[in-house]
Structure 1
Amino acid sequence: MSLESLWLALLGLLLAGYFVLGGYDYGVQMLHPFLGRSGADGSRGAREAAEPVGRNAALAAIAPFFLGNEVWLVAFTGVLFGAFPHLEGSLLSGLYPLIVAILAGLVLGNAAVQLRGRAHSARGRRRWDALIVLGGGLPAVCWGLVLGLLLHGVPRRPDGSFHIGFGEVLSPFVLACGVTTALLFAAHGAVFLALRSAPELASAARRSGTALLRAAGAAGALTLLLTLLGAGAPMRNGVTSALLAALFAAALAGAWWWLSRERHGRAFAATCCATVLPVLLVGAGHYPYVLASSSGAGLTVRQAVTDGATLKILTAFGVVLIPVILAYQTWSWWAFRGRTGRRHPSYF
């Protein structure tokens, strides 16, 4: 394998890792206000004073991993800047509105999750809850829109630049990708809560997860239908794309099957696979293009990558840094294994 292909695979691995780990963060943020309604009973004053147990427990489930999962996004950005400067120059400027929306959602969500516990009234907590949902839902939808645009192809100009407008973002296929990704991340978060939470919250998360998985499957089927009707993504590698789409459908079906039978570990493994596959579809479906164009020639791996000498220097750093990231994530999961409420305190 050439250094160019190796670094492209690493770029995809880092983004896929972020989708797996950051995806359940987004999902839990979107779901947490709706999973603890039965925790407060009695008079209106008692309901306002009491804090539904499920809401705190949902946030407690992601607390040990919350900011650590952002390491994968930082590493992905570093590889994009260092190893693929020509792709970064086109991609970030062309997708600027969506990138800003993703970053705004991350900032809002991170701040709201950590500041919500400082609210002293039910009204204040509801305001923070709204920001938490926005902080999870906005990046989830925007990541889906980004994937949809990359699958469909962007209007690339002869100088290599492009700019997306409302026409490209609001196309049926791109919107369907945004909805599919948001539903997928929400389902992923529900399965994570079913795996990590105490029995009462796990039961509510399981019911939500099965419904969300069916909805994600329906939205994914819509993207396939639009593709078959000519309004979707004209993939360069059709056989590979069809195989990955079939694996995506199988992962969703397997997650639903195992979740409905309370096999939470297997269901979580299946949703992890489902969140990885869209990234693989973007990379493998258009290979050797890393940026497909809807209006001419795209950008190939060889055109996007930096020079060989720089790649060799980066490889020396990558050999050290990537195992450190993997070791940290493995240790973090091992240290905070088990369900919340038994071994670990509430962090938020």
Structure 2
Amino acid sequence: MEITFLQNIWFILVGVLLIGYAILDGFDLGVGILQFFTKKNEDRRVLINSIAPFWDGNEVWLLTGGGALFAAFPHVYATVFSGFYLAIMLLLVGLIFRAVCMEFRGQVESDAWREFWDKAFNFSSFLIALLLGVALGNIYTGIPLGEDMNYTGSFFTLLRPMPLLIGVTGLMMLVMQGALYLNIKTEGELQERAIKWSMASYKLFVVVLILTTAMVPVLTENNFQIFLSRWGAYPVILVILISLLVIPSFVKKGKYFGAFMASSVIIAAMFMVVALTIYPNLVVDSNDKFSMAINEISASEYTLKSMLIIALIGMPIVLAYTAYIYRVFKGKVKLDEHSY
């Protein structure tokens, strides 16, 4: 098994893990943001309990993606995690605080107490979604690297216009994902509101997506040309357009799971846009001098091969467990004495 083949396989697998995280944790981040727009405690509890069985398992995909990156492409792991240090710390604080909010909100019978933890839950969900989008934007746009593969910018370098635009696009995409998920899990008056949220977030996402797409050739002309030159570019664009077109129709017809799956396809396709643009690099140098190509910075052939064997054994187990959990907790949310 040639090392080039293994390097490409692990480029794909890291991407698959990140896509899995974005789709699965994406909807519960979206739900966390949308909870801000509810007033009744019962409605807020329904939203929290719609994601309660899944949120921690969803985050495993992010941990696994980080672990795979560390083992397969250690130089990339070192560069990204050191360069994005402050952003990653904010992300970790958000992830930790979000879990604390869910556990603490019901510990005291006080409206003020619940209100504080609910708002903290909303803000941490918003922060995580935005940070993830901006991080993806920086991977797409490129970051300044030195000859030693170290990040040479500052925290504010990460907040350039294009990464911020992509961050806002990602934020709206996850809000839409969360709203479409709530269409499946809620009923009655709350479901009617979730349907309105899904259509409103869909429209906002489309507007932001059009704006971001229009700015790509202006702010990152080279990336735009590279993407269009890839053989998979036009199929990916077609998939995004079809998925965008079917979501309103599915929602109108009450095919909420279909709408959710179409949104998930859009998320996966967005990652494919980034992958097609940056390949064969994992981290692009914005100065176009020291980009980190997979054939130059991967682990050894033995490491990649050993990890692939482990992945082939472990991934089916993870997928089976995930499918089982979602099957067990399918259906509408019903509150009881054990609910949050």
Q: Which bracket does the TM-score occupy, shorter chain normalised? A: over 0.9
CA 1:195–1:125: 2 relative to 1, 3 Å? same
Which residue does 2:102 correspond to in 1? 113
How far off its partner does 1:214 sit?
0.8
Query: For 1:48-93, what per-residue CA distance to the aligned partner results, in whole angstroms no more than 9, with x for missing partners?
Result: xxxx321111111111112111111111111011111111111111
Counterpart check, 1:299 vs 2:289: no
Which residue does 2:259 correspond to in 1? 267
Structure 1 stretches of 4+ moved >6 Å = none
The match for 1:133 among 122, 141, 146 is 122
CA 1:202–1:262: 2 relative to 1, 3 Å? same
Which residue does 2:68 correspond to in 1? 79
- SS in structure 1 opposite 2:331? coil
The match for 1:154 among 137, 143, 163 is 143
CA 1:346–1:275: 2 relative to 1, 3 Å? farther
Q: 1:90–1:162: 8 Å Cα contact kept in structure 2? A: yes
- Give the whole-Å Cα distance in 2 for the aligned partners of 1:346 and 1:28: 20
Counterpart check, 1:254 vs 2:268: no
Q: 2:86–2:155: 8 Å Cα contact kept in structure 1? A: no
Counterpart check, 1:277 vs 2:266: no
The match for 2:227 among 214, 232, 237 is 237
CA 1:319–1:293: 2 relative to 1, 3 Å? same
- SS in structure 2 opposite 1:234? helix
Counterpart check, 1:326 vs 2:325: no
Superposition CA RMSD, Å: 1.9
Which residue does 1:31 correspond to in 2? 34
- Give the whole-Å Cα distance in 2 for the aligned partners of 1:224 and 1:346: 46
- Give the whole-Å Cα distance in 2 for the aligned partners of 1:129 and 1:233: 43
TM-score by length of 2: 0.92
Which residue does 1:312 correspond to in 2? 305
Matches within 5 A, 1:217-232: 217-231=206-220
How far off its partner does 1:11 sit?
0.6
Q: 1:255–1:271: 8 Å Cα contact kept in structure 2? A: yes
Query: For 1:170-206, what per-residue CA distance to the aligned partner results, in whole angstroms no more than 9, with x for missing partners?
Result: 3221111111111111111111011111232211111
Q: 1:20–1:272: 8 Å Cα contact kept in structure 2? A: yes
CA 1:231–1:81: 2 relative to 1, 3 Å? closer
Structure 2: runs of 5 or more not aligned = none
Q: 2:84–2:155: 8 Å Cα contact kept in structure 1? A: no
Counterpart check, 1:286 vs 2:289: no
How far off its partner does 1:233 sit?
6.6
- Give the whole-Å Cα distance in 2 for the aligned partners of 1:292 and 1:121: 50
TM-score by length of 1: 0.90
Q: Which one-letter code corresponds to 1:30 in the other structure? A: I
CA 1:176–1:346: 2 relative to 1, 3 Å? farther
Structure 1: runs of 5 or more not aligned = 40-51
- Give the whole-Å Cα distance in 2 for the aligned partners of 1:202 and 1:163: 48
Which residue does 2:14 correspond to in 1? 11
Counterpart check, 1:186 vs 2:175: yes
How far off its partner does 1:165 sit?
2.7
- Give the whole-Å Cα distance in 1 for the aligned partners of 2:253 and 2:111: 36
Q: 1:26–1:136: 8 Å Cα contact kept in structure 2? A: yes
How far off its partner does 1:262 sit?
2.3
